[in-house]
Chain A
């Protein structure tokens, strides 16, 4: 096939995919039903592989389809389906506009040692210790974090600007969204990757995919035996080198009529650039070619440093936090959390952190922003994995979005009735911090907020009532902790369950108030 339509098709298809993914992350009002999101996520390689490992079900075999696709067509996944890859293509295009230099790409030697050792290290670490390297390097998770950490604050900022403007005209279709910022420290990893991936793609096309990305390397290995691939017709080729200069992967050695399949992402730019119709995509004839080694020119280093960006983003995040209410006295007793609270559907902390790649899809989707990227709640290896932060917000009783949307099944889908009875932690009351005891005035903010009345009020001094917790009906939603007005320590907090358990159903209390026949006044 030498059709120019191949490239047009790639651009159209990948643009659609990219827009869909951006919409999924930009959808702060949960307009998109989760079944569509899951459809989109089906073919994401790493999330699907982890999900398959967990569920052993053919219903989640997306990654097998990707492997098959690679065996037939080469690394089309990287150009057509990977949102991080498509995003890099976009960035490369921008780079091309900025730097109007004809010779941008050209053939480069592959970073063979680096890429294969990274793949090997990732596999070994994952098999022996756990998911940490995948969390760091899975392209989908990296893309998810870019969207959640950098794009979403921008989207919310725009929304708030627009909603403020519309509000002046008495239009309230858009509403202001109080954005809860993440701790500065968890921005560090996404920021480094943002600069790395962004910088490399801006100047060097798909170098990140061909040097660091373990999925790219793995699919590249598989491409060595793929059936369809790009090739140069030696008789038609005039060695003009145009194809090589348009190759984002810098993998066309036109002097030797050779295209490195392990790096080629099937973008089809070369077909369009060739004026002699010498480049084509088609069924391969397995004729051995001499491997060629050449020394490469020195590599430029990537400058990492823009701390300004880092600071700027976190300022957007922190600007709208609720100021803490100030009671007369400070609370004195420190909360003693023995375990962090991991999101519902996680089954338990251990099994959750083993399967979560920190793609931050759930953090993005949470309508209450109670899911926050962890810093060291799960240990430093669990950095960026979602953790319930009840000082920032609480878990909505009637909501299961995070469990439905998880691409790796680290959070298992829960039906609403099951979620309402899943105990992810237990409320603990610290009487010595409580307003009712310290100020001798009524409060009850915690019990008011409790959806199951696990936190209820019992008689205290005089007309006063004070909270009490029935732990077995508590589900650990954290609304009590969020509502408690004491500072710096809360008078009620949720201690996580290392393994989630089933809560008892809320009790029905009898009352002797009857339907009135006469006015009581």
Chain B
């Protein structure tokens, strides 16, 4: 490219970008006036994680519909594994960063991010890229590696799981935003919204040894439920989950699903993996327990392609 051409093109690009911004849209992406939610679920396809979230949350009435001024927010991504972001074993850091930014725009007093990791937590926080992204956006990243951070709660009505120790942040914050990454799972077939809550509790071994699927559904009974689930299906680990071995386990899906109903979210996610919803046993169990609606046909879903 000659120098003159370079100037011409870049000027053109600059003008176009400026015009696009002045025509509006961008400010609307940060919509602050809470609107009544028109949809049960918003699914976005074809963009980058942050851009898809901008669009999706706008359709749900903006972050202001979920976060009030002065509230404390817990964002719970999946940071379970000591893997690079490209393996998509953990939630996309760009998405986490964008959600935090929206929370602060909506007036959140403080935003916290944590996970009870499976691998060494220092490595997980660092190598997932989430620690850096969250700090950049101004959130507090909190350890979850020691039992001293967890407090006993009770789950009346739980069939297998009647009590658990949950992280203090779940108890101390006003809003809980669940940000799972969709992945294949060796045992439950899929990990997404409800299974991501295993990172909120201390003793996961109990769940594994006492009917894992039932325990996952039982925990969804607990009073503190996510105000919003943002499902990261940008890069999806379709096999060898939930940890993955190489990039060959990843399929680019460039999709994001936003919903307040985590049973519905899991049902939609199962479809993304090409799974019959019944195969992922905790979904029908939770549906029967009245914790959400897995019948996607009866839901008002907004589908957006970028």
Binds A, one of B12-20, B29-37, B56-64, B180-188: B180-188
Chain B CB within 10 Å, residue with most, of A320, A463, A485: A485
Cα distance A160–B214 when bound, in Å? 35
Binds A, one of B3-11, B91-99, B135-143: B135-143
A172/B82 in contact, CB under 8 A: no
A513/B273 in contact, CB under 8 A: yes
How many residues on the A side are at the interface (Cβ–Cβ under 8 A)? 57
Name the CB-closest residue of B to A323. Answer: B203
Q: In the complex, which residues of chain A have a beta carbon less than 8 angstroms from the beta carbon of B253?
A: 515-516
Is A175 part of the binding interface, using a Cβ–Cβ cutoff of 8 Å?
A: yes
Interface residues of B, dominant DSSP? mixed
A326/B239 in contact, CB under 8 A: no
A164/B186 in contact, CB under 8 A: no
Binds A, one of B47-55, B222-230, B240-248: B240-248
Q: Mark B193-221, 1 if CB is under 8 A from A, else 0.
A: 00000000001111011111110000000
Is A276 part of the binding interface, using a Cβ–Cβ cutoff of 8 Å?
A: no
A463/B123 in contact, CB under 8 A: no
Interface size class of B (residues with CB under 8 A): 35 or more
Partner of A453 from the list B140, B245, B251 (CB cut-off 8 Å) is: B245
Q: In the complex, which residues of chain A have a beta carbon less than 8 angstroms from the beta carbon of B296?
A: 521
Partner of B186 from the list A399, A444, A506 (CB cut-off 8 Å) is: A444
Q: In the complex, which residues of chain A have a beta carbon less than 8 angstroms from the beta carbon of B148?
A: 160, 164, 176, 320
A178/B119 in contact, CB under 8 A: no
B210/A172 in contact, CB under 8 A: no
Least CB distance, B243 to chain A, in whole angstroms: 6
Name the CB-closest residue of B to A396. Answer: B120
B141/A325 in contact, CB under 8 A: no
Chain B CB within 10 Å, residue with most, of A176, A320, A322, A443: A443
B187/A447 in contact, CB under 8 A: yes
B271/A521 in contact, CB under 8 A: yes
Is A405 part of the binding interface, using a Cβ–Cβ cutoff of 8 Å?
A: no
Name the CB-closest residue of B to A455. Answer: B186
Partner of A320 from the list B45, B146, B208 (CB cut-off 8 Å) is: B146
Name the CB-closest residue of A to B254. Answer: A515
Name the CB-closest residue of B to A368. Answer: B120
Q: Which of A359-417 contact B (CB under 8 A)?
A: 367-368, 396-399
Instruction: Given the known inter-chain contacts A367-B122, A456-B186, A516-B272, please indicate yes or no for A397 contacting B209, CB distance below 8 A.
Output: no
B243/A448 in contact, CB under 8 A: yes
B186/A29 in contact, CB under 8 A: no
Name the CB-closest residue of A to B236. Answer: A513
Is B38 part of the binding interface, using a Cβ–Cβ cutoff of 8 Å?
A: no
Instruction: Given the known inter-chain contacts A367-B120, A452-B245, please indicate yes or no for A513 contacting B251, CB distance below 8 A.
Output: yes
Cα distance A396–B245 when bound, in Å? 15
A443/B143 in contact, CB under 8 A: no
Is B152 part of the binding interface, using a Cβ–Cβ cutoff of 8 Å?
A: no
Partner of B119 from the list A170, A397, A439, A513 (CB cut-off 8 Å) is: A397
Is B68 part of the binding interface, using a Cβ–Cβ cutoff of 8 Å?
A: no
Cα distance A447–B188 when bound, in Å? 12
Least CB distance, B78 to chain A, in whole angstroms: 13
- 24 residue pairs A–B, Cβ–Cβ below 8 Å: A160-B148, A164-B148, A172-B140, A172-B142, A177-B146, A320-B147, A328-B209, A367-B123, A397-B119, A441-B211, A442-B213, A443-B208, A445-B208, A448-B186, A448-B187, A453-B240, A453-B243, A456-B186, A457-B186, A511-B238, A511-B251, A515-B253, A521-B43, A521-B296
Taking A172-B142, A444-B186 as known contacts, 7 extra A-B pairs with beta carbons closer than 8 A to each other, sorted by chain A number, are A172-B143, A368-B120, A435-B208, A444-B185, A452-B245, A515-B254, A521-B43
